[in-house]
Amino acid sequence: MIRYIIRRLLQVIPVFLGTTLLVYYMVFALPGDPIAALFGDRQPPQSVIDALRNQYNLDQPFWVQYGLFLKNLFTFNLGVDFTQQPIAATLARIFPVTAMLAIEALIIQAVFGVLFGVFAGLRKGKLFDSTVLVASLVVIAVPTFVLGFVFQLVFGVQLGWAKPTVGASANWGNLILPAVVLGLVSFAYVLRLTRTSVIENMNADYVRTATAKGLSRPRVVLAHILRNSMIPVVTYLGANLGGLMGGAIVTEGIFNVPGVGNKLYQAVQRGEGPTVVAIVSVLVLVFVVANLLVDLLYAWLDPRIRYE
Amino acid sequence: MSTVKIEETPVQDRPILEIKDLAITFTTGAGEFKAVKNAHLSIMPGETVAIVGESGSGKSTTALAAIGLLPGNGRVTGGQILLDGEDIAHASEKRMIELRGSHIGMVPQDPMSNLNPVWKIGYQVRETLKANGRPDGPDDVARVLAEAGLPDARRRARQYPHEFSGGMRQRALIAIGLSCAPKLLIADEPTSALDVTVQRRILDHLDKMTTELGTSVLLITHDLGLAAERADKVVVMYQGNVVEAGPSLDLLRDPQHPYTRRLVESAPSLASRRIQSAKEQGIEAGDLLAPAATGRGRDDVLQVRNLRKVYKLRQGLGQSTDFAAVDDVSFSVKRGTTTAIVGESGSGKSTVAKMVLQLESPTEGQIIFDGVDTAGLKGKELFTFRRRVQPIFQDPYGSLDPMYNIYRTIEEPLRIHKIGDAASREKKVRELLDQVALPQGTMQRYPNELSGGQRQRVAIARALALDPEVIICDEAVSALDVLVQAQVLNLLTELQSELGLTYLFITHDLAVVRQIADHVCVMEKGKLVETGTTDDVFDAPQQDYTRALLNAIPGASLLLPPAVA
Amino acid sequence: MSNTKHFVAPVEDTPLRATDSLRTDQAPLSLWADAWRKLRRRPMFIISSLMILFLLFVAFFPGVFTGVDPNNNCQLSNSEAGPTAGHPFGFTLQGCDVYARVIHGTQASLSVGVLSVLCVLVIGVTLGALAGYYGGWLDAVLARLGDIFFALPLVLGALVITQLPLFRENKSVWTVVFVISMLAWPQMARITRGAVIEVRNADFVTAARSLGVSRFGALVRHVLPNALAPVIVLATLELGVFIVAEATLSFLGIGLPTSVMSWGNDISAANASIRTNPSILLYPAGALSITVLSFIMLGDAVRDALDPKSRQR
């Protein structure tokens, strides 16, 4: 297990370096004055331009620039935004909100997706199964931002079950509506994956052998079918964290959640390039680390992985 | 009337399992399918009964019905399954859960897929004990595993299935099946996935354990020799019906039903001599000394000298150790004869085949084909070499491209080597199909529509398309049912005498070697341990390993075949 | 005793069949013909392909469905007005005809989806097949390269790329296609690589090599055709995903330029009217969802039909 962890850690480093290099190169090394380009038509105050030049060490050779950029990233020295606020401080304030939202969404998609998926799989071909299958296709087909508006309109405005916009009062309860919107598409994918996986495992030889041993049905389902079906589901949840981040930008924008996604959305709308780059770099770091954690969970679920 | 009779029968004389007029139907997308039409058998306490049949005969389905594990779309549509007098053909799931494990145990076929990969072996034993209300402490688990012949059971219990070899997994499965001392054990081809010597050890151990426990065994197998050797009674199934049943030796010596007779005649483990082509059989013995017609035995078409193949095994971060898959192997193959390389898994026999085929390059040593060292073959020479040496592989389901119809499959070598035009190629394909006794209508079909034996025939036709001199058969008949296997072996023999082909036959099955080979090379762990003519090796094996292999052929010592007896 | 009796069934009950005879009662069936036969019978396939054909028709001939000019006929006096004769869906905030905009928006969505899938197929299948088939350093490099792009979630990556001056000033269908393809090819490459690895060691590939087929020839003739099923399934599903991606990017203001009529842009613009007249938002949103649903249903049906497990034997 230790060897597996070390190997995974070693694999993560080049990926992280490569991804940040890609981002950095695109923004700062392509032809043209990057600072001017980052702002497009807008003319920022000279003090902001000076701060940015200082932040990104643009007078240095490219590799030094990149090295200093990495160093800044790891020391959370992310520079200042348009209004000369330090981005790191802003992030520290808004990150917990997004974390709350993401955790709620993750719980919704994992718990309900697995639950529905298992029941559909165990009742393959029955009415419940076919209903859930069709419904999940419809859910997948409706884009997150459409879903966001519809839910906001129906549950927020017309029914009044939840606040249509979250605003400054972000807490677990207020975040439920955006979390449902954020988690719903992946919920459908988790459901379908769990179902497929359960059906596949039901026909596995070792499940038949487990039954032949005299185990009760609940025991066979829990210890053998469910346990093994979780392996692909966990892999999917890990790979989908990126999708969750993208979804958070849209969802936070619609529901006015004061989180990282919203900040990013506003930065894009206002054309604040440097802020976008800084936040995206942090998110890539989060994504890579989260994926590493999922990999460890995966190795814990499937002993064959550790062994290789 | 019959109920009264049962009550009068003393308990010891009542069968532990009695199956009467059993019928099982599967509902598929294409309609209803009767897998079992009329099966009946009875097993007395302590007795071993074997069901023998080809794939699709209904033997496994019958056994699964006895433990209530028919697949979801299958159901018992007639007859009775009496377990110790109780009809369980339609028993409730609750009752079946009570019976499974403690009254009926099961040892499944494939040890690789029947243990859950995510749980430790000990856990999988423990949950069995627990479910059946037996003591389930670590000591009990270790004892159960140790009884099944697993050394160092306490440590082994803490390992996962993937850390076990095939043989050890099967021991673990036997331990699970017998852990609660059931009265009946259903063993479904329990060793067919294992090497012959391992197979023998495990079956011996299973015999010993069931005798000690007084457990009756229902053994499912495709191998008549194995059935006769291990069982008191043999039941032969064919197309869902029991066609013959009786004491093992009776049935073997005096088969009555034409299907059983066919089986006894074809069973490789019972055969004692090489198959001869019809032509050779017609020729007087003296004429066989004139090899001129086929060039048989004229020269060594293939010589292998000090062949060595070393693989680097990765051992984690940057380290590796050398592993010699093939180590200093030398042999030669005479033109027009069959040489068999026999060995168990890991013996390196398939690696030799790959190197002879120029699909892998040797680390050391030479392969000389028709007087030319093949090491330097490149480009055009290699292309020509490929025309002259052709392979046939083991897996009939994998050796044909599922996207190509049979015509394209057989025509491909002709097209690659730019032989003839479209019309002449089609004529050649027709001839080839005739040669392997497939109807011409096969041309437009796709591999998935053919049976395993038919696919192997297509593979043979493809190999013959370029008029090769040497054919390398890598386990070419191992995956086939006994009767089909015999048919393909006959075909290969006929083709050899007709076309003067040379075969290099790679196999794990000594029984097949007996039927087809003139010379044998026995390999063990990469090394050649014994070579000689087939007769010499079989009659007077020089090495312990060869003797062990020969002893492991099931049923070999049982009886002389009817023809000789 | 009964158990020592030698039982023989009457031969008439189970007549002997010729060993291994060929079944000739069915027409020959290739894999694709078999899949097609299965597809033809699935209502989901029929419905979704009819819908897709209809959508393609709308995309190519929007004039058949509406004579209203969606762009130049806008009058602020009609702002957020309800449905009237000839304008069944009402008007936008700018006073443009919603129905005409929905019809004309079809083209942008479909072309971004189809073009992106084609690009992803070309890049992903080529790289994935080469990596899976040849292995070695090529595989290692491509796997790492794929990982790097994989660590950049689609929307995040698109945000960065579209910040570049080159893209900000030249927004068009092509830039969106470029952004999506650049970020989405690794998944296609992964799937292809996996499928190729599964096939490359099959005996029929080895057999072809022993017949004298070159290494690359075996890849093209035998390996790739047999690795295509999962690729086709993914491509169909991704059509839907990419259409959503385009709409999302347009919605965020970093996708298609506002001059291009697209559902994403319209939904973004309708954001302002959500409380006063939600139907302005719901019509393009509905059209988008139905389009995506069609492709996802198609992908689902194709997956079932191509599933090797459902094939006979």
| Residue B176 forms part of a structural domain | yes
Least confident of A174-188, C145-159, C221-235: C145-159
| DSSP conformation class of A253 | H
Q: How far is A240 from chain C (nearest CA, A)?
A: 9
Give the mean model confidence (pLDDT) for residues C22-43.
75
d(CA B163, CA B168): 10
Residue of C16, C19, C210 lying closest to B487 (CB–CB): C19
d(CA A39, CA C165): 9
Which band of pLDDT confidence, cut at 50, 70 and 90, is reported for residue B562? Answer: very low
Q: Is residue A77 scored above 50 in pLDDT? A: yes
Q: Is residue A131 scored above 80 in pLDDT? A: yes
Tell me phi and psi for residue A54, to 5 degrees.
Answer: -65, -45
Q: In terms of pLDDT, which residue wins out, A5 or A112?
A: A112
Domain map of chain A by residue range? Answer: 93-258
Give the mean model confidence (pLDDT) for residues C148-171.
77
The radius of gyration computed from the CA coordinates of chain A, to the nearest angstrom, equals: 23
Kindly determine whether residue A245 and residue C155, on different chains, have CB atoms separated by under 8 Å.
yes
Kindly determine whether residue C152 and residue A14, on different chains, have CB atoms separated by under 8 Å.
no
Query: Which of A205-219, A249-263, C59-73 is predicted most confidently?
Result: A205-219
Which band of pLDDT confidence, cut at 50, 70 and 90, is reported for residue B100? Answer: very high
Kindly determine whether residue B69 and residue A231, on different chains, have CB atoms separated by under 8 Å.
no
% of chain A with per-residue pLDDT over 70: 91
Q: Is residue C20 scored above 90 in pLDDT? A: no
| Residue B172 forms part of a structural domain | yes
Give the mean model confidence (pLDDT) for residues B71-96.
90
Which chain C residue has its CA at the smallest distance from A272's CA? C163
Q: Pick from C207, C228, C239: which is nearest to C52 by CA?
A: C239
B181 touches chain A (CB under 8 A): no
Cβ-Cβ contacts under 8 Å, B484 against chain C? 19-20
Which band of pLDDT confidence, cut at 50, 70 and 90, is reported for residue B429? Answer: very high
d(CA C206, CA B448): 19
% of chain C with per-residue pLDDT over 70: 89
Q: How far is B232 from chain A (nearest CA, A)?
A: 25
Least confident of A212-226, A268-282, B229-243, C198-212: A268-282
* pLDDT score of B234: 93
Cβ–Cβ under 8 Å, residues B106 and A291? no
B176 touches chain A (CB under 8 A): yes
The CATH number assigned to the domain holding B292 equals 3.40.50.300
Kindly determine whether residue C6 and residue B241, on different chains, have CB atoms separated by under 8 Å.
no
Four-residue CA torsion sign, B252, B256, B259, B265 = positive
* pLDDT score of A30: 60
* pLDDT score of B233: 93
Residues B310 and B170 placed together within one structural domain of the fold? no
| DSSP conformation class of B261 | H
* pLDDT score of C223: 92
Alpha carbon B32 to its chain's center? 30
Q: Give per-residue pLDDT as tens, B466-524.
A: 889 999 998 888 778 888 888 888 889 988 988 889 999 998 888 888 888 999 999 98
Q: Which domain holds residue B175?
A: 2-266
Q: Is residue B540 scored above 70 in pLDDT? A: yes
Give the mean model confidence (pLDDT) for residues A116-131.
89
Which band of pLDDT confidence, cut at 50, 70 and 90, is reported for residue B296? Answer: low
Kindly determine whether residue A214 and residue B106, on different chains, have CB atoms separated by under 8 Å.
no
Kindly determine whether residue B127 and residue A303, on different chains, have CB atoms separated by under 8 Å.
no
Kindly determine whether residue A214 and residue B128, on different chains, have CB atoms separated by under 8 Å.
yes
Residues B14 and B84 placed together within one structural domain of the fold? yes
Q: Give per-residue pLDDT as tens, B397-409.
A: 788 888 888 899 9
Q: Tokens standing for A32?
A: 């043209």
| Residue B307 forms part of a structural domain | yes
Instruction: Find all residues with CB under 8 Å of B378, minimum gap 6, and list them.
Output: none
Residues B139 and B200 placed together within one structural domain of the fold? yes
Give the mean model confidence (pLDDT) for residues C26-48.
80
Which band of pLDDT confidence, cut at 50, 70 and 90, is reported for residue B293? Answer: very low
d(CA B489, CA B476): 9
Q: Which among C45, C155, C292, C297 is the top mutation candidate for probing chain A, defined by the most A β-carbons within 10 Å of its own β-carbon?
A: C155
Least confident of B122-131, B147-156, C50-59, C95-104: C95-104
Q: Is residue A126 scored above 60 in pLDDT? A: yes
Which chain A residue has its CA at the smallest distance from B102's CA? A214
- Sketch out chain C's domains with CATH numbers: 50-61+91-310 (1.10.3720.10)
Kindly determine whether residue A214 and residue B100, on different chains, have CB atoms separated by under 8 Å.
yes
Which band of pLDDT confidence, cut at 50, 70 and 90, is reported for residue B7? Answer: very low
Kindly determine whether residue B162 and residue A206, on different chains, have CB atoms separated by under 8 Å.
no
Can you tell me whether residue C198 is helix, strand or coil? helix
B67 touches chain A (CB under 8 A): yes
d(CA C272, CA A56): 37
Counting the structural domains of chain B, the total is: 2
Read off the amino acid at residue C186. P
% of chain B with per-residue pLDDT over 70: 90
| Residue B458 forms part of a structural domain | no
Cβ–Cβ under 8 Å, residues B245 and B234? yes
* pLDDT score of C2: 43
Which band of pLDDT confidence, cut at 50, 70 and 90, is reported for residue B5? Answer: very low
d(CA B465, CA A8): 50
Q: Is residue A208 scored above 80 in pLDDT? A: yes
Q: Is residue B565 scored above 70 in pLDDT? A: no
| Residue B408 forms part of a structural domain | no
Give chain B's mean pLDDT: 85
Give the mean model confidence (pLDDT) for residues A206-219.
92
Lay out the sheet containing B320-334: strands in order across. Answer: B320-334, B300-314, B364-369, B372-373
d(CA C268, CA C83): 21
Kindly determine whether residue B454 and residue C20, on different chains, have CB atoms separated by under 8 Å.
yes
* pLDDT score of B272: 61
Kindly determine whether residue B117 and residue A304, on different chains, have CB atoms separated by under 8 Å.
yes
Q: Find the Cα–Cα–Cα–Cα dihedral A298, A299, A302, A303, rounded to 10°.
A: -170
* pLDDT score of B95: 92
d(CA B225, CA B249): 10
* pLDDT score of C23: 63
C-alpha to C-alpha distances, B508 to B345, B350, B479, nearest whole angstrom:
8, 10, 12
Cβ–Cβ under 8 Å, residues A302 and B162? no
* pLDDT score of A38: 60
Per CATH, domain A93-258 is 3.20.20.70: no
Helix (H) / strand (E) containing B87? strand B86-87
Q: Pick from B116, B115, B142, B146: which is nearest to B129 by CA?
A: B142
Residue of B115, B131, B163 lying closest to A214 (CB–CB): B131
If you count residue pairs, one on B and one on C, with CB atoms under 8 Å apart, how many are there? 136
Least confident of A26-40, C1-15, C181-195: A26-40
Listed residues B245, B266, B287: the one ending a domain: B266
Q: Is residue B280 scored above 70 in pLDDT? A: no
Which band of pLDDT confidence, cut at 50, 70 and 90, is reported for residue B347? Answer: confident
C201 touches chain B (CB under 8 A): no
Q: Give per-residue pLDDT as tens, B302-332.
A: 889 999 998 887 665 556 778 888 888 999 9
* pLDDT score of B281: 61
Least confident of C110-124, C160-174, C229-243: C160-174
Residues B116 and B225 placed together within one structural domain of the fold? yes
Cβ–Cβ under 8 Å, residues B507 and B342? yes
Q: Tokens standing for B243?
A: 């066609």
d(CA C206, CA C192): 20
Give the mean model confidence (pLDDT) for residues B384-398.
86
Chain A adjacent subunits, 3+ CB pairs under 8 A: B, C
Give the mean model confidence (pLDDT) for residues B254-262.
89
Q: Give per-residue pLDDT as tens, A256-303.
A: 888 888 888 788 777 676 777 788 888 888 888 888 888 888 888 888
Which band of pLDDT confidence, cut at 50, 70 and 90, is reported for residue B290? Answer: very low
| Residue B560 forms part of a structural domain | no
Q: In terms of pLDDT, which residue wins out, B11 or A197?
A: A197
Q: Give per-residue pLDDT as tens, C199-233.
A: 888 889 988 988 888 889 999 999 998 888 889 88
* pLDDT score of A34: 61
Instruction: Find all residues with CB under 8 Å of C197, minimum gap 6, and list them.
Output: C132
Q: How far is A141 from chain C (nearest CA, A)?
A: 5
Instruction: Find all residues with CB under 8 Å of A48, minimum gap 6, and list them.
Output: A80, A82, A84
C-alpha to C-alpha distances, B309 to B305, B344, B522, nearest whole angstrom:
12, 17, 17
* pLDDT score of C1: 40
Residues B113 and B20 placed together within one structural domain of the fold? yes
Q: Pick from C48, C97, C94: which is nearest to C69 by CA?
A: C97
Which band of pLDDT confidence, cut at 50, 70 and 90, is reported for residue C34? Answer: confident
Chain C adjacent subunits, 3+ CB pairs under 8 A: A, B
* pLDDT score of C259: 81
Read off the amino acid at residue C39. L
Q: Tokens standing for A306?
A: 């550790």
Angle at alpha carbon of residue B36, lines to B32 and B42, rounded to 5°: 155
Q: In terms of pLDDT, which residue wins out, A275 or A193?
A: A193
d(CA B42, CA B15): 6
Phi-psi group of B152: left, alpha or beta (phi > 0 → left; psi -120 to 50 → alpha; rest → beta): left
Least confident of B21-25, B233-237, B276-280: B276-280
Q: Find the Cα–Cα–Cα–Cα dihedral B525, B529, B533, B535, rounded to 10°.
A: -90
Cβ-Cβ contacts under 8 Å, A304 against chain B? 117, 160, 162
* pLDDT score of B563: 39
d(CA B37, CA B26): 11
Residues B313 and B220 placed together within one structural domain of the fold? no
